[in-house]
Amino acid sequence: MARTVWIESLGCPKNEVDGERMQSALTRKGFKIADDRSRADVLILNTCGFIQSAKEESIEEIFNLIALKSQNGRKKILVCGCLAQRYPNELWTQMPEVDGLFGIGEIDKVGSICSSVLQGKRTLSVSPLGRPSGVAQMKRTAEKRPYAYIKIADGCDNLCSYCAIPAIRGDFRSKKIKDVLEEARQLAENGVKEINLIAQDTTLYGIDLYGERRLPRLLASLSRISGLEWIRLLYTHPAHFSDELIDQIASDPKVCKYVDLPLQHISDQMLTKMNRKVSRKKVENLIQKLRERIPCLTLRTSFIVGFPGEKKKHFGELLKFVEEVRFDKLGAFPYSKEEDTKAYSLKGQVPSALKQERLDELMLTQQKIAFEKNEAKMGGTLTVLIDNKSEEAGCFLGRSQGEAPEVDGTIRVKGKEVRIGRLVKVEIVDWCGYDLIGQQTRE
């Protein structure tokens, strides 16, 4: 009788792809994937360990699984992902209820690790990351939704002073173009209409394999795959955006006119302390170029507030910048003090209450901008990819090219011919918060 495995992936889409990779490997080994953890023999938690809040969520979920195991001692618990890679010894010794713990480089060995713990062997397997860890081609299975993520690289070489990713996931490693294309073809054959390219820094794609940045070439090759309608680019870096990449986004009809450009701050003093390798002037020139050359661009960014040494004047500069630039989408996060980063020992740590105060002020400023932009869309027409059904009768949820999945608002759509996975023309008739409300039009 086949043993059943339940997998939960916490954190970012990069972790989600790792979870799908494990699911594919387990299926090939004869395991069945359970939708309900109460019915599974093995419980796998793919953790996040990027910042303090993510670590706390991962720890809490491990204890939830331990509580479930206490009710049924036959269940086995496996912990993997970033937290396992970052703190293997601490987790292994302090949580004896965990039956197995493995690192990011052992993802493809998940089948044998499951077999080992089912035989009663407590198994620890964490090794340093190197090529091709995390970037080998994976078999893509049918998605339950019309969009999917493809991880085109893993690790990072940027060494931002606040970021622990290089210590967790290792050096930057690109996936071969042929492997990315094969995954995209498999997804398209399974009905996926939109692929979202992800990495710690997608703009550096190819530099390690080919000696040059090859993201524009990759986008061009992907756009020739039959069945794919949209290609979305996430996690770009302002220091590595080229004119060639801008031209490819602007001219390729399948590439979403959407740029995810995490800036983290705008004060030159803060950018230098963060080791972002850009200046305010360079950022402003890039934004101007993007908006001038890419028609109907949606520009998303993210910022960190409360970085060590951030004074009232630095935050004021950031707030005014946001008011002037009027980003279409914006996320913000309080600085998280992380060991194994250069910022950990910096002087001028900002009190938590002040970080939260600044975060609230920044997000309220952006909320006003976002609502004004939604109001301006009334009466316009958008092409919308339908993702799933709404709880409201006769209503579906979708997105235009201007909304990335899982991080931006949605578009609620009604219409007689609306179906999941279809691209439909929609007239925007109302809005509610960050979401738009639309009615299918006659094409």
- Residue 87 pLDDT > 80, yes or no? yes
Quick one: 418 and 294 in the same domain? no
Quick one: 203 and 278 in the same domain? yes
Minimum mean pLDDT range among 39-48, 60-69, 129-138, 404-413: 129-138
Tell me the range of 130-144, 307-321, 385-399 where mean pLDDT is highest: 307-321
267, part of any domain: yes
Quick one: 310 and 404 in the same domain? no
* pLDDT, tens digit, 9 for 90 and up, residues 39-69: 999 999 999 998 999 999 999 999 999 999 9
Quick one: 121 and 50 in the same domain? yes
CATH number for the domain including 399? 2.40.50.140
Cβ(29)–Cβ(66) below 8 Å: no
First vs last Cα of the chain: how many Å apart? 52
Quick one: 50 and 182 in the same domain? no
Amino acid letter, 420 = I
What integer pLDDT is reported at residue 416 of this predicted model?
A: 85
Quick one: 39 and 104 in the same domain? yes
331, part of any domain: yes
399, part of any domain: yes
Quick one: 117 and 164 in the same domain? no
139, part of any domain: no
Quick one: 427 and 354 in the same domain? no
Cβ(140)–Cβ(101) below 8 Å: no
Name the domain boundary from 75, 95, 125.
125
Could you tell me which residues come within 8 angstroms of residue 140 by beta carbon, excluding any fewer than 6 positions away? 20, 24, 148, 183, 186, 187, 190
Quick one: 174 and 199 in the same domain? yes
Predicted model pTM: 0.94
429, part of any domain: yes
What integer pLDDT is reported at residue 32 of this predicted model?
A: 95
CATH number for the domain including 369? 3.80.30.20
134, part of any domain: no
Domain count, the chain: 3
Mean residue pLDDT across the chain: 95
Name the domain boundary from 376, 397, 429.
376
* pLDDT, tens digit, 9 for 90 and up, residues 315-358: 999 999 999 999 999 999 999 999 999 999 999 999 999 999 99
Q: Which domain holds residue 406?
A: 381-440
Orientation angle between helical segments 280-293 and 243-251, nearest 10 degrees? 30
Cβ(415)–Cβ(440) below 8 Å: yes
362, part of any domain: yes
Amino acid letter, 241 = F
Quick one: 387 and 370 in the same domain? no
Distance CA 295, CA 78 (A): 47
Quick one: 165 and 313 in the same domain? yes
CATH number for the domain including 37? 3.40.50.12160
142, part of any domain: no
- Residue 443 pLDDT > 70, yes or no? no
Quick one: 357 and 391 in the same domain? no
Cβ(205)–Cβ(215) below 8 Å: yes
Over range 299-306, report the average pLDDT: 98
pLDDT band at 131 (very low <50, low <70, confident <90, very high): low
